[in-house]
Amino acid sequence: MRLSAAVALVGLAATSMMAGVHADSDVLDLTAKNFKSTVDPENLMLVEFFAPWCGHCKALAPEYEIAATKLKESNIPIAKVDCTVETDLCQEHGVQGYPTLKVFRKGEASDYNGARKADAIVSYMVKKSLPALSEVTPENLETFSQSDRVVIVGVLPKDSEKRAVLEEVAKKHSDDFVFGVTEESPDTKEGIVLYKKFDEGKNILDGEFTEDSLVEFIKANSVPIMDEIGPNNYATYMEAGLPLAYYFYSTPEERAKFGTEIEALAKELKGKVNFVYIDAAKFGAHAANLNLKESWPAFGIQNVENGSKYPLDGEVSIEKIKELTEGVLAGTVEPSIKSEPVPESNDGPVKVVVATNYKEIVEDLEKDVLIEFYAPWCGHCKNLAPTYEKVGELYKGSNI
């Protein structure tokens, strides 16, 4: 009996080694020898191309391990390739930085576009394992509706033309959300139900809808009324397309100071502006991206569609926050532009352009404009300067 057990253990160990799995890991180790034979048969697989010295790879490693264990339940394998050893294999797959994550379906690769925390990896890969639009029955509706943080279910008759609209939206947004369709639901006779694990738990879109109005409904309701923003959900807010209002705080007391009142404003303006908390102790440097000084608390709004920035100047108050937000929505507030001051004298042969006089000089419809973008430390720019001045003298007083 002991001999049989020993043989069995040896066999198990050999099997694990052949599969490229360490005994204490659910992540497969891939090499040039076993890559195709392991990856090509799989309907869905995630592969990380990494370097052991890479800081981002080290940060990802524990999250990747957790995700691998969780995804075993869904029969979705996760693997990794050490690019310091398998250089040719990584080059073959176009790896240019670390870590690079790729999703494989029967050997065909596509980029992984999710966040790099365990829950986000699991959510992304589970979505990839589902059809864009899943058929849901009354029996599994409750389970399906809780299968991800946000789940969209159409309650529509089989012959409804709205099914085609829902399917189009599902195809375009299946990386971001789980979509299903059913004929019966206790939540509505006919319409779209957005289930979510935050705020009020669900939202219902009744009546007629188009592809655009359905997308708007999803955008407005798929993020919390007010949440903490960070690397894991930043992309979600960028993709939502709504103006993003940041409240920077450095202590729990600062967070609480205006939190309740800002959350009330966020609820009032739901679907028009997204509001977020941002921890200045971790992400204070982001204030510069909104043209804000690193002084807390602080508040600013970003138009995520065109990059315009609206910092709140001076001391923060709920009245000023409301005034700025309403002004941004009404289009009565000018965006902030970082700019050097306009030179007191700008009559030379080469005009100095800064952000605040750019339109006046460069977009002058009466003249053709040649503009040089340079850096003072740049050697080539220094070499060009005298020639550029001479060209300026030649055309001074003309329409150029």
CATH classification code of 341-400: 3.40.30.10
Active site residue: 54, 90, 378, 381, which one? 54
Q: What's the average model confidence in pLDDT over 393-398?
A: 83
pLDDT band for position 70 (50/70/90)? very high
Residue 63 predicted with pLDDT over 90 = yes
> Is residue 57 annotated as a catalytic residue, yes or no?
yes
The tokens of 194 are what?
């957005």
List 48's β-bridge partners, or say none. 80, 101
Q: Give exposure, 125-141, as e/b (b: 16+ Cβ within 10 Å).
A: bbbbebebbbebeeeeb
Lowest mean pLDDT among 6-10, 47-51, 78-82, 325-329: 6-10
Where in the chain is CATH 3.40.30.10?
A: 17-126, 131-221, 226-330, 341-400
Convert the pLDDT of each residue in 231-274 to its tens digit.
888 988 988 889 999 999 999 999 999 999 999 999 999 989 99
Write out the DSSP string of 17-57: HHHTB-TT-SEEEE-TTTHHHHHTT-SSEEEEEE-TT-HHH
pLDDT band for position 22 (50/70/90)? low
Check whether domain 226-330 has CATH 3.40.30.10, yes or no: yes
pLDDT band for position 17 (50/70/90)? very low
pTM of the shown model: 0.69
pLDDT band for position 392 (50/70/90)? confident
* DSSP structure class, residue 136: -
Convert the pLDDT of each residue in 165-221 to its tens digit.
999 999 999 988 999 999 999 999 999 999 999 999 999 998 889 999 999 999 889
Q: CATH for 17-126, among 3.40.30.10, 3.30.1510.10, 2.70.98.10, 3.40.50.1000?
A: 3.40.30.10
Check whether domain 131-221 has CATH 3.40.30.10, yes or no: yes
Cβ contact 123:114 at 8 Å:
yes
Q: What's the average model confidence in pLDDT over 56-79?
A: 96
Measured over the CA atoms of residue 170, residue 172, residue 175 and residue 176, the dihedral's sign is: negative
